[in-house]
Structure 1
Amino acid sequence: MGISRHATAHWEGDLKTGKGRLSTPDSGLMQDTRYAFSSRFGDEKGTNPEELIAAAHAGCFTMALSAKLAEAGHPPARLDTRADVDLSMEDGPALSRIRLKLDAEVPGIDEARFQEIANDAKENCPVSKALSAVPITLEAKLKR
């Protein structure tokens, strides 16, 4: 049997004027964090599904990369990943692109091997696999 995690969503009202709360009760990362139309499509304070997908993808990719680098004999000193998730409004809302941007410090590895391992992590982390219908790019920079 695998591992199961959960989050909850509560919403009241219609799409544009309603408001909701998201929670990750087991981790405490979010406890009744506000989300609404205006925090998703505007600039009001609160979170949104795309931001949460970005956080999940950045975290998953970074952990997968750390494991793959260590397996290759190059445990990383530092990995910093930013994930940008784009929401297109053409033909109805849809995720249109995910961009992973990585800054890494990995002692003793050459650029070609680093890029190979980073791309493997991008293709094979569980969140990348789940989001495979969306184009995912990676810009990986190795600190010298």
Structure 2
Amino acid sequence: MPTSTASARYEGLGKPGKGSISTASGVLHDQPYGFGTRFEGKPGTNPEELIAAAHAACFTMATSFALAKAGHADGTLDTTAKVTLEADGDGFKVTRSALALKANVPGITESDLARIADEAKANCPISRLLNCEVTLERTLES
């Protein structure tokens, strides 16, 4: 099975420190992160944003493959994931990943979409990785 690699570097310690994140694929190269990007809305990314991107992508792909397996040949899936970080004692904890799916799949019923999407939510690898509440809101568009 494939493996994926990423790296992070942090220069300086604590709040004034500044970090960068890179991926082996080059999609991210020295992308800045730190206290400001995580808690103050400054330009750059943060771990929760990267988890949200991974979860949205994984769930959407799992749903796409499940829809194809169920006999659907065309459609568009748009997913957002909102990852919540909350204080936990002296630290922080990811407490929730809220998925919101907008699906346009010709010929599918709302109940079939619900069944397929709920199964994809429960079984996509990133959902299974997360140790938090995972919710799903579904909208069927035509």
Picking from 117, 136, 139, the partner of 1:138 is 136
Q: Which runs of 5+ in 1 are unaligned?
A: none
| Structure 1 partner of 2:32 | 34
Give the strand-richer structure, 1 or 2: 2
| Structure 2 partner of 1:13 | 12
CA contact (8 A) 2:22 2:30 kept: yes
CA contact (8 A) 2:4 2:24 kept: no
| Structure 2 partner of 1:125 | 124
Q: How many residues are treated as equivalent by the alignment?
A: 141
CA contact (8 A) 1:76 1:104 kept: no
CA contact (8 A) 1:66 1:76 kept: no
CA contact (8 A) 2:22 2:31 kept: yes
Structure 1 residue 34: deviation in Å?
Answer: 0.3
| 2:72 matches 1:74 | yes
State the alpha-carbon separation in 1 of the partners of residues 51 and 121 from structure 2: 15
Q: Which runs of 5+ in 2 are unaligned?
A: none
What is the TM-score with the length of structure 1 in the denominator? 0.94
Aligned-residue Cα RMSD (Å) equals 0.9
The 4+ residue runs of structure 1 with deviation greater than 4 A are none
| Structure 1 partner of 2:103 | 104
State the alpha-carbon separation in 1 of the partners of residues 70 and 52 from structure 2: 27
Structure 1 residue 14: deviation in Å?
Answer: 1.1
Q: Percent identity?
A: 49
State the alpha-carbon separation in 2 of the partners of residues 17 and 45 from structure 1: 15
State the alpha-carbon separation in 1 of the partners of residues 44 and 71 from structure 2: 41
